Structure 1
Amino acid sequence: MVIDGRTLPVTVKTSAVSRRISLRVDAMTDSVVVVVPTGLPAREAMRFVHEKTDWIRARLGALPPRVPFAAGAEVPVLGALHTITPAPEARRGVWTEDGRLHVSGLPEHLPRRVGDYLKRRAKEEIAPRAFAYAQRLDRRISSLSVRDTRSRWGSCTSDGALSFSWRLVLAPEAVLDYVVAHEVAHMVELNHSGRFWNLVTDLMPDNARPRHWLKQHGTSLHRYG
């Protein structure tokens, strides 16, 4: 579809459990995603999308600006802003120091190096927390991965496989901590029952503020890189 001269990709997904059409704007790709019940013609989905043009325009306008991984850009690491600073002569890879994210190597490799560093740092921050929480619940983690997920900050399977968004490393430390506690609690309760939330609170008593932060600012994490 085209809004104000801007061409937006539209992805139509079918769902066997959905009873009505739902719509969202993907903050990572600036695209439109519409989910429809199985059997609904695509033309009906697109008619619905065009009826919601004003809503889509408003959602796009509310998105935070994109922040590329480039020299001079400010990127948060555990919530603290760091200025990306090239260090072409250095041989230290990527490191943080005094509010700067130093990146050695050739300029053309800078975006990839920053991304690789943040993904590695995310796993370094998440894994110890996850294993410590799992031990408290007497559960065993079968695997732990870090990915660039769009719709979930984390996930847990019935066999104890945990997965997290690397973008959590951009958020304040308490937010990352909360998501880890949330997913580990699912190793006991694969639901969102009262028992589940009691487990989350046992692992992290002060979880209301990070939950609120994620609802208010989570979209901004998808605008980096």
Structure 2
Amino acid sequence: MGPQGLTAVLDWLRRDPREEPVIEVAGRALPVVIRRLERARRMTMRLAPDGSEVRISIPRWTRSAEAIEFARSRQDWLARQLAALPQAGRMADGAVLRFRGDELTVRHDQTAPRRPVVDDGELRLGGPADSLPPRVLRWLQAEARELLTIDLAEYCQRAERPCPPLALSSAQRRWGSCAHDGAIRINWRLVMAPDFVRRSVVAHEVAHLAHFDHSPAFHHFLKTIFEGSVHDANRWLKAHGRSLYVPFG
């Protein structure tokens, strides 16, 4: 994260949700979060991955009223984005979830061992049905921690940097972050994405240990430690990232 990104995050943390403008979209009242970016040359708008707010980035000289009017003029587009959000499905026998880019069918048998096991495209587990959603969630997060810990150690070795402790994130705004003190946080939901996508995010944050910006030197360094295509990984996240925020119910 460069200085501009850090400033934007601090601005977001200091904001008071009670003072944010609200627009109505498809019968829902959505807060409009406005960020002024030093390098922005145009206005951009997106819906939060969980559909909780509208996020607009604007150049420093743009008035907030223009951003709000822009959001109101695109209510139909926002409504379509809301309708496309993944819906919580009932976590039960026969449910389907994503894991490392593939789909797993949940096979639940109360008499089977409680520990989840992946076998031939299925996630098999036993135990009480009413505790199934939190147990599947904990399993996914544990798998994420194991995979991400391995990824982080590997890229730190390639980068010739000490390996910092890993923290899992549930952030709605970013897939990973690297703090000034070298602390790295990665969104656990990346365990549902293909391996190359998850690994690209880890490599990106490790590259910040060498270059704490998004300069040409940073991008060159990232290419030297990441074995795949950063462009393809970013394109996948842009097209499918929102689907990783499906609620567990």
Measured against the shorter chain, the TM-score band is: 0.7 to 0.9
Q: Distance in 2 between matches of 1:129 and 1:187?
A: 15
The reply to whether residue 210 of structure 1 matches residue 228 of structure 2 is: no
Map of 1:167 onto structure 2: 189
Structure 1 window deviating more from structure 2 (20-29 vs 138-147): it is: 20-29
Map of 1:65 onto structure 2: 86
Measured at CA, do residues 43 and 104 of structure 1 come closer, stay the same or move farther in structure 2, by a change above 3 Å?
farther
Map of 1:8 onto structure 2: 29
Q: Distance in 2 between matches of 1:69 and 1:191?
A: 42
Map of 2:18 onto structure 1: none
Q: Distance in 2 between matches of 1:18 and 1:136?
A: 32
Map of 1:192 onto structure 2: 214
The Cα of 1:206 is off from its aligned counterpart by: 2.2
8 A contact 2:86–2:245 mirrored in 1: no
Measured at CA, do residues 214 and 41 of structure 1 come closer, stay the same or move farther in structure 2, by a change above 3 Å?
closer
Q: Residues 128-176 of structure 1, C-alpha deviation per residue, up to 9 Å, x if partnerless?
A: 1111211222211332111211111111112221100111000011111
Map of 1:134 onto structure 2: 156
The Cα of 1:36 is off from its aligned counterpart by: 7.4
Map of 1:143 onto structure 2: 165
8 A contact 2:203–2:226 mirrored in 1: yes
Measured at CA, do residues 22 and 120 of structure 1 come closer, stay the same or move farther in structure 2, by a change above 3 Å?
same
Map of 1:154 onto structure 2: 176
8 A contact 1:82–1:99 mirrored in 2: yes
8 A contact 2:25–2:79 mirrored in 1: yes
- Across the aligned residues of Structure 1 and Structure 2, the Cα RMSD in angstroms comes to 2.8
The Cα of 1:119 is off from its aligned counterpart by: 0.8
Equivalent position amino acid for 1:223 in 2 = V
Structure 1 window deviating more from structure 2 (187-196 vs 21-30): it is: 21-30
8 A contact 1:69–1:84 mirrored in 2: no
The reply to whether residue 80 of structure 1 matches residue 102 of structure 2 is: yes
Measured at CA, do residues 49 and 116 of structure 1 come closer, stay the same or move farther in structure 2, by a change above 3 Å?
same
Aligned residues: 223
Measured at CA, do residues 41 and 210 of structure 1 come closer, stay the same or move farther in structure 2, by a change above 3 Å?
closer
- What is the TM-score normalised by the length of structure 2? 0.76
The reply to whether residue 103 of structure 1 matches residue 125 of structure 2 is: yes
Map of 2:199 onto structure 1: 177
- What is the TM-score normalised by the length of structure 1? 0.84
8 A contact 2:113–2:125 mirrored in 1: no
Unaligned runs of 5+ in 2: 1-22
Q: Residues 58-89 of structure 1, C-alpha deviation per residue, up to 9 Å, x if partnerless?
A: 3324x253243612221111011101222322
Q: Secondary structure of 1:108's match?
A: helix
Q: Distance in 1 between matches of 2:38 and 2:189?
A: 29
8 A contact 1:30–1:60 mirrored in 2: no
Map of 2:242 onto structure 1: 219
Q: Distance in 1 between matches of 2:126 and 2:64?
A: 49
Map of 1:116 onto structure 2: 138
Unaligned runs of 5+ in 1: none
